[in-house]
Amino acid sequence: MLQESNTLFQFTANTDPLSWTVVNDGVMGGLSKGRLTISDEGHGIFQGAVSLENNGGFSLVQHRFATLNVKKYKSLVVRLKGDGKNYQVRLKTNASDYFNYAINIKTNGSWETVSIPFEKMIPQFRGRLLNMSSFPGEQIEEVAFLIGNKKAEEFRLEIDKIELK
């Protein structure tokens, strides 16, 4: 459990990519292919290709961890380098929840630090908004990144670190 540090996850050259799980649309019959590797510089690289074949259209990478109290924080801050495409950042208060809290971000092709206020993270399930309050900011057990822009496309998202502020 995180106590003093506000770093939720820091990729390094020694990061085991298996500490993150990739979920492609194959769980629903799709053909998208995403994978997570670690660069020589020690960044997580989530890359692949989204396919719309067989009702597909998404790839997701997620990291689960022990319940983390986040009451003293107001936002998630991610240092990343995208490819100019839109991605969704997701949090779950409980890893077993059927829904998540999400926000869409547009990457700019360069290294950037994206600050995401918890209050802007909206509850949703499979892309459908739920009639619930936004992220309560009490605890989290999962963070994820998803690409699903309703088009076939290759993608590459490089992640350095995820922090709480």
The per-residue pLDDT for range 87-106, each reduced to its tens digit, is 999 999 999 999 999 999 99
Do residues 26 and 20 lie in contact, with contact meaning Cβ atoms separated by under 8 Å?
no
Output the CA torsion 40→80→130→62 (10° steps): 10
Contacts of 159 (CB under 8 A, 6+ apart): 11, 43, 44, 45, 46, 78, 79, 80, 145
The pLDDT tens digits for 63-84 are 999 999 999 999 999 999 999 9
- Total tally of structural domains belonging to the chain: 1
Residue 127 has pLDDT above 90, yes or no: no
Of 2, 157, 8, nearest to 75 by C-alpha is 8
How many Å apart are CA 150 and CA 57, to the nearest integer? Answer: 6
Residue 36 has pLDDT above 70, yes or no: yes
Check which CATH number belongs to the domain holding 154 and give it.
Answer: 2.60.120.430
Structural domain of residue 134, as residue ranges?
7-164
Instruction: Taking the CA atoms of 77, 100, 36 and 64 in sequence, report the sign of the dihedral they define.
Output: positive
- Is the residue at 52 inside a domain? yes
Predicted TM-score (pTM) of this structure: 0.95
- Is the residue at 31 inside a domain? yes
- Is the residue at 2 inside a domain? no
Give the amino acid at 65: F
- Is the residue at 140 inside a domain? yes
Residue 157 has pLDDT above 50, yes or no: yes
- Is the residue at 24 inside a domain? yes
